Amino acid sequence: MSLVVVGSVALDSVETPYGKRDEALGGAATYASCAASLFGEVAMVAVVGSDFPKAYHDKLLQRGICLDGLVVLEGPTFRWTGVYQGDMGVVRTLNTQLGVFESFRPIIPDSLKRPRVVLLESIHPELQLEVLDQMERPELVAMDTIRLWINQKPDKVREVIRRSDLVILNDEEVRSITGENRLVRAAETILSWGPRNVIVKRGEHGASLYGEVGPFSVPSFPTPQVKDPTGAGDSFAGAFLGFLLRGGNLRSAQRIRQAMVVGTVVASFNVEELSIDRLERVTLQEIQERCRFIRESTAFDEVALG
């Protein structure tokens, strides 16, 4: 298997100014896997409850996602209810029911123990470490986390970071795990802990990569209408890694830069509709067109002075 994504699969009830949906297919692992599946093979390691709709199971299979690592436990699936208001910059969580996710201990099936790349989505950092312990060291370990774990388990989060090659966090998370307010400094601090590269997701300001092949910055794509920001960061990460794997050499600077753009673009599609609706329909042609748009909106001739 090229890519294994470990994280949550959830039933999301989301309300935005554009609409409302109950118990849609969601969760970090879902968004990341769906985005990665646009470019190649991906397996998901996650847990769902016995009430997980067969239709969603089939949806994931139809995307070509390997579900050998998807465990079904007796009990309810992880449910999340959130509301986005106004410009949807901030989500308000109304309800979180962990269900079977509460006792989730990722068990990596033998067939998934030797991936080229693993993406550790934002589960408890001790579980992220357990995943790594079960695997032969992948060529590339990528990690994400959330504010909750940075606040509650900073040492464990740093341990995961030390064992990762690529850290993918948003600006707020990068600041809080390092205590550095300037993003460049915060990124440098993370790099000093060991990872080869760190990606700082800046929301509507785009994303930046620091480290071995950085600095590299890409603006966000000006999506005409953001209908549901849920999963933007996860679809970025999944597309980034999926695209990178498609190229073969995981350390090609050029390929990594392109992957930043592809991740940005896939995220821009994801937010256009609820759940994975848009990811299910988006074509490589459409992705390529937005990548070209970004290229055109950042290119300039060399400045000659003097």
Distance CA 28, CA 45 (A): 11
Q: Which of 94, 107, 148, 184 binds a second copy (CB under 8 A)?
A: 184
17 touches a second copy (CB under 8 A): no
208 touches a second copy (CB under 8 A): yes
Running DSSP on this structure, what letter comes out for residue 290?
A: H
Q: Which of 110, 133, 155, 301 binds a second copy (CB under 8 A)?
A: 301
Distances, alpha carbon 123 to alpha carbons 5, 59, 298, in Å: 11, 23, 35
169 touches a second copy (CB under 8 A): no
Nearer to a second copy, 81 or 217 (CB): 217
Q: Which of the stretches 43-51, 70-78, 154-162, 257-265 binds a second copy when contact is defined by CB under 8 A? A: 257-265
Distance CA 189, CA 176 (A): 12
Nearer to a second copy, 115 or 206 (CB): 206
Nearer to a second copy, 66 or 261 (CB): 261
Q: Which of the stretches 112-120, 124-132, 151-159, 177-185 binds a second copy when contact is defined by CB under 8 A? A: 177-185
Q: Which of 118, 143, 282, 291 binds a second copy (CB under 8 A)?
A: 291
3-state secondary structure of 301: coil
Number of residues that bind a second copy (CB under 8 A): 45
Q: Which of 58, 87, 102, 126 binds a second copy (CB under 8 A)?
A: 87
300 touches a second copy (CB under 8 A): yes
Q: Are 269 and 281 in contact (CB under 8 A)?
A: no
Peptide bond into 215 cis (omega under 30): yes
Distances, alpha carbon 119 to alpha carbons 17, 20, 70, 220, 287, in Å: 32, 30, 15, 22, 22
- Positive or negative, the Cα torsion across 277, 279, 283, 286? positive
Q: Are 119 and 127 in contact (CB under 8 A)?
A: no
83 touches a second copy (CB under 8 A): no
H helical segments located in the chain: 28-36, 54-62, 125-134, 147-152, 154-162, 171-178, 183-192, 232-246, 253-270, 277-281, 284-296
Distance CA 116, CA 277 (A): 28
248 touches a second copy (CB under 8 A): no
Nearest approach, Cβ of 260 to a second copy (angstroms)?
8
Paired tokens of 118: 């693993």
Residues numbered 224 to 243 that lie near a second copy (CB under 8 A) are 226
Q: Which of 204, 212, 277, 280 binds a second copy (CB under 8 A)?
A: 204
36 touches a second copy (CB under 8 A): no
Q: Which of 58, 107, 254, 281 binds a second copy (CB under 8 A)?
A: 254
Distances, alpha carbon 52 to alpha carbons 29, 253, 278, 283, in Å: 15, 41, 21, 28
Q: Which of the stretches 9-17, 42-50, 123-131, 212-220 binds a second copy when contact is defined by CB under 8 A? A: 212-220
Nearer to a second copy, 114 or 292 (CB): 292
The residues binding a second copy (CB under 8 A) are 86-87, 89, 180-184, 202, 204-206, 208, 214-219, 222, 226, 254, 257-258, 260-262, 283-285, 287-288, 291-292, 295, 297-306
